[in-house]
């Protein structure tokens, strides 16, 4: 047989693995806008009506559940109690300053008109009929000089 040459070419594939690490720094800033409750003494737990302002023909008081059997505080040991004067009303009012450097609001936020509020309360009726009691909550925004917004 004639001389034959067999040529074998070996190709070596070299794979280089490079690991790169991408570092991302996440910067997050949080602005505290809403404290847990803007009211002071919201559930009468201070044992006094302060800083609430009372009104109406039947003055609201603080009760620990002893004024009427079964009318116990929802939570804690005290509650506001009023209206026990035969078809008379009791009112409690509290002013909350939003721009006094403690609530975290800015003039721009208030001026934007995009703030929201959440109001929650528990009501019990002396007579056991909520139809007899007419709870009402009002939220009024005023300027620092008490002008209605």
| pTM for the full predicted model | 0.63
| pLDDT classification of 78: cutoffs 50, 70, 90 | very high
pLDDT at 125 over 80: no
Between 127 and 55, the higher pLDDT residue: 55
Domain positions in the chain are: 32-141
| Mean pLDDT, rounded, of the chain | 75
Say if residue 89's pLDDT is above 50: yes
Q: Report the distance separating Cα 35 and Cα 30, nearest Å.
A: 13
Residues 6+ apart with CB under 8 A from 100: none
Q: What is residue 23's predicted lDDT score, i.e. its pLDDT?
A: 57
Give the tens place of pLDDT for each residue, 36-73. 688 889 889 888 899 999 988 888 889 998 888 888 88
């Amino acid at each position: 047989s004639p001389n034959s040459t067999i040529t074998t070419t070996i190709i070596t594939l070299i794979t280089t693995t490079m690991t790169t690490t991408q570092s991302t720094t996440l910067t997050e800033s949080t602005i505290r806008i809403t404290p847990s409750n803007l009211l002071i003494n919201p559930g009468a737990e201070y044992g006094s009506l302060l800083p609430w302002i009372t009104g109406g023909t039947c003055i609201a008081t603080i009760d620990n559940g002893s004024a009427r059997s079964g009318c116990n505080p929802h939570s804690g040991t005290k509650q506001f109690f009023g209206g026990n004067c035969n078809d008379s009303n009791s009112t409690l009012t509290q002013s909350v300053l939003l721009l006094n450097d403690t609530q975290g609001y800015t003039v721009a936020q208030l001026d934007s008109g995009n703030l929201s509020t959440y109001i929650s309360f528990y009501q019990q009726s002396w007579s056991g009929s909520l139809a007899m009691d007419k709870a009402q909550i009002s939220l009024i925004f005023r300027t620092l000089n008490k002008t209605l917004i």
